[in-house]
Copies of this chain bind each other. A is one copy, B any other.
Amino acid sequence: MKKLINDPQDVVAESLEGFAAAHADLVAVHADPPFVTRAGGAVPGKVGLVSGGGSGHEPLHAGFVGVGMLDAAVPGAVFTSPTPDQIAPALQAADGGKGVLAIVKNYTGDVLNFETGAELAEADGVTVRSVVVDDDVAVENSLYTAGRRGVAGTVCVEKIAGAAAERGGDLDAVAAVAERVIANVRSMGVALTACTVPHAGRPSFDLPEDEIEIGIGIHGEPGRRRIPLAGADEITEMLLTPVVDDLGLSGGEQVLLFVNGMGGTPASELYVVYRRARALLSERGVEVTRSLVGNYVTSLEMQGASVTVLRLDDELTALWDAPVHTTALRW
């Protein structure tokens, strides 16, 4: 295992320490239990937004804490759900008096721990609503998941719900916007290589030099199938087609096209995938009106990418365009 780390047990804490020092203008990091908030804390009169999950997917979620997006993020150990005793104080810290929306990726541990965390926070007087993101069309049920997994589409939910909260919506309204994004966003990914969880010390799975895994999960969970290494255009079509079919796009729609890197794939390759995905959408009469390309929901150093499509309407587009000021997303 080759990593720029010290003791594998200290990676998350040391990384958060660096993150806090580098971005003290934007975020504050609470060490014990670990969670990240905006530098100024909760915004009075604004619905709070909290997300979280296992570490190893950076910049998700701490990189999205800031104006126009999250109020707090809760990082678990690498590829491990955060615990209720982390989640509860993060929910409290995000509460500006109008309640808190928890954005949870659909993994059994995350869902259960966010439920318990919400109960603890509610016992202390915080009103909590939760939405569960399950955008991955690759598989129904999986290692760690009942139902579909939550993957890169989470960024769209956090950005757009964040904007809805920022403009002054109440908890019901912000939750409704989040649910609308969840209903309209789908993703699928491919792995070219495995990744290594620091405290495990060896790759999460074996992938032969001449094979790739279509429909991979962001923890290296099995996907749909293994196939021989293929060209980017062919792979992109394998990712995009089930996404478009599941969304039921028939032409005439406007969409956000998001090509996400898994961590170890160069930006140049992500743009090769984006180019082909956009052409395929165009062939189907679907117009790409917003784009995002880069490493936003990663799997440590895994090589691979995912393709996410979000069906837009005027309101979702306006909320996507609204200002955002976080360490990983800013406009």
A272 with B4, Cβ < 8 A, contacts A291-B22, A301-B265 known? yes
Within 8 A of B (CB), among A196-244: 209, 212, 229, 231-233, 235
Counting CB contacts under 8 A, is A120 at the interface?
A: no
Copy count, this protein chain: 2
Counting CB contacts under 8 A, is A18 at the interface?
A: yes
Smallest CB–CB gap between A226 and chain B, Å? Answer: 13
Report the separation of the CA atoms of residues A265 and B1 in the bound assembly, to the nearest whole angstrom.
12
Counting CB contacts under 8 A, is A99 at the interface?
A: no
The contact string, 1 if C-beta is below 8 Å from chain B, for chain A 278-301, is 100000000010010101001011
Counting CB contacts under 8 A, is A45 at the interface?
A: no
Smallest CB–CB gap between A268 and chain B, Å? Answer: 4
Contact A275 B56 (CB under 8 A): no
Contact A4 B275 (CB under 8 A): no
What B residues does A58 contact at CB under 8 A?
A: 266-268
Contact A268 B330 (CB under 8 A): no
What B residues does A273 contact at CB under 8 A?
A: 4, 18
Q: Which residue of B lies closest to A21 (CB)?
A: B278
Contact B301 A18 (CB under 8 A): no
Within 8 A of B (CB), among A249-290: 263-276, 278, 288
Report the separation of the CA atoms of residues A94 and B169 in the bound assembly, to the nearest whole angstrom.
45
What B residues does A278 contact at CB under 8 A?
A: 18, 21-22
Contact A271 B22 (CB under 8 A): yes
Smallest CB–CB gap between A65 and chain B, Å? Answer: 14
Q: Which of A22, A63, A263 has the most CB of B within 10 A?
A: A22
What B residues does A274 contact at CB under 8 A?
A: 18, 21-22
Counting CB contacts under 8 A, is A155 at the interface?
A: no
Contact of A269 among B3, B276, B331 (CB under 8 A): B3
Counting CB contacts under 8 A, is A140 at the interface?
A: no
Counting CB contacts under 8 A, is A17 at the interface?
A: yes
A271 with B18, Cβ < 8 A, contacts A266-B58, A291-B23 known? yes
Within 8 A of B (CB), among A298-324: 298, 300-301, 303-305
Extra contacts, 9 of them, besides A14-B232, A301-B303 (Cβ < 8 A), are A2-B229, A4-B235, A12-B268, A14-B272, A18-B273, A21-B274, A266-B298, A295-B295, A330-B331
Listed by A's residue number, 24 A-B pairs whose Cβ atoms lie within 8 Å are A2-B209, A2-B229, A2-B303, A3-B192, A4-B192, A4-B265, A4-B304, A6-B231, A6-B232, A11-B268, A12-B268, A18-B270, A21-B275, A21-B278, A56-B266, A58-B266, A58-B267, A263-B264, A264-B264, A265-B301, A266-B300, A266-B301, A267-B295, A330-B331
